Structure 1
Amino acid sequence: MAAIDYLREHGLYAEAACDGRLSVWPVQNITPELRTWIRAHKQELLDDIAKGLDPRRRCWRVVVGRKSMVMLSRYCQLSPEEALEVARARWSEARVYQY
């Protein structure tokens, strides 16, 4: 069973940020045991996510502090690195996620 499937069986979703971080939600479903499991399987989860996603996209979720917004690229697709660069040009502490 893939690590991402294990999370889904527990009612959790995950996405990878461009900087190698892993975001798992909803937080209220994360038990102490699941938190330990997620930390132990972080790289496997990131690999599972990467297998199913095209790295170049027109739509990105940008998180600045506690605020989440959608960033659209009208004319071209952006790689994760390009999307992060564009977002950080506006918000220095922005995190970028696949949408």
Structure 2
Amino acid sequence: MVAITAETSLIKRLWLWLSNHDGIYSHLKPSELKKTDYTRLGVFLIFHLGMLGVLYTGVSTTAVIFALSMYFLRMFFITGFYHRYFSHKSFRTSRAFQWLMA
């Protein structure tokens, strides 16, 4: 576990926050862990509300085809590789390929 102290660099703090590392919460009491992290919630909401920008910019056939193909490609890799390999170890692969897919 990584403890966050006053000496921890800003870059390391940001990385731990973005990667959702439990080290950023190690100094909190159990009662404080149940509180909502509004900064994270705000980033999450802005990211998802950003899709409403399509109402301002418009939609093209190319954009829809690209978005749908990226969706299906991503879902295939999540279920076909990431989940089946890392959860079930249903096949063997090299370390390099594991690193590439993770």
Q: Same fold (TM over 0.5)?
A: no
Q: Which has the higher Rg, Structure 1 or Structure 2? A: 2
If asked which structure has higher relative contact order (CA below 8 Å, sep 6+), I would say 1
More helix by share: 2
Q: Which structure features the higher share of strand residues?
A: 1
Query: TM-score, structure 1 length as denominator?
Result: 0.29
Please, what TM-score do these two structures have when normalized by structure 2?
0.28
